[in-house]
Amino acid sequence: MTAPGSPSVFLVDDHALIRSGIRAEIAESVHIVGEADEVDAAIELICERRPDVVLLDVHMPHGGGLAVLEAVTRACPATRVLVLSVSDAAEDVIALIRAGARGYVTKNISGPDLVEAVQRVAEGDAVFSPRLAGFVLDAYASGATQVDDELHQLTPRERQVLRYIARGYAYKEIARELGISIKTVESHVSSVLRKLQLSNRHQLTSWANERRLI
């Protein structure tokens, strides 16, 4: 019942209700190749079935999404991970993005939006939720990402794109507003993701902690 060429997806979440909910919402548009409710099983099955995209929950017993993400990135780098979580905590978001996730969306995302996000990640692009865009802007504005060279700073255009995402614009709408193609929007977001992954770990962590603790 899925269209040919649709991405294969693996679900990792320790709540069965959530898994079946996600399954119901996206099963028609993507090919779900399996699901797991714990870290070890997830790693094993993902490496065995090699899906295009893993939909990963953050909070699970025994290491959580981070453990799965790290193992999968090491063992089968071709598989891309999209984090799907209820957590809004800056440290969760930043830790997973830095560990190699291609995007972060929250579970209140609508079915069609989730399918679009999965397809985007399967094609190698990045997916930012408005909240993640807000976090990134905040981290860069607070100087948490100061690095030695200018290369890792955001360009004005990237900042502009992030602002549109935070304002709730879809990629398509951003492309229209800025008079550029969707591909260009995607490449700006991917470039932000790459810069985020390369920037100083300590500073980002302490930014995330400050947001939480002070």
* Interface ranges with another protein (CB under 8 A): 86-90, 108, 130-131, 133-134, 137-138, 141-143, 146, 148-149, 163, 166-169, 201-203, 205-206, 210-214
User: Minimum CB separation from another protein for residue 202, in Å?
Assistant: 3
3-state helix/strand/coil string of 94-150? HHHHHCCCCEEEECCCCHHHHHHHHHHHHCCCCEECHHHHHHHHHHHHCCCCCCCCH
User: Minimum CB separation from another protein for residue 88, in Å?
Assistant: 4
Nearer to another protein, 181 or 209 (CB): 209
Nearer to another protein, 8 or 145 (CB): 145
Which amino acid, residue 138?
Answer: D
Nearer to another protein, 89 or 180 (CB): 89
User: Minimum CB separation from another protein for residue 203, in Å?
Assistant: 8
Nearer to another protein, 39 or 58 (CB): 58
How many CB atoms lie under 10 A from the CB of residue 35?
Answer: 19
DSSP 3-state of 166: helix
Nearer to another protein, 53 or 114 (CB): 114
What is the chain's Cα-based Rg? Answer: 17
| Phi, psi dihedrals of residue 164, rounded to the nearest 5° | -65, -40
User: Minimum CB separation from another protein for residue 143, in Å?
Assistant: 6
Measured distance CA(29)–CA(108) in Å, rounded:
18
How many CB atoms lie under 10 A from the CB of residue 73?
Answer: 15
Nearer to another protein, 37 or 91 (CB): 91
User: Minimum CB separation from another protein for residue 82, in Å?
Assistant: 19
User: Minimum CB separation from another protein for residue 135, in Å?
Assistant: 9
Measured distance CA(122)–CA(130) in Å, rounded:
20
Residue with tokens 């550029």: 180
Measured distance CA(197)–CA(124) in Å, rounded:
15
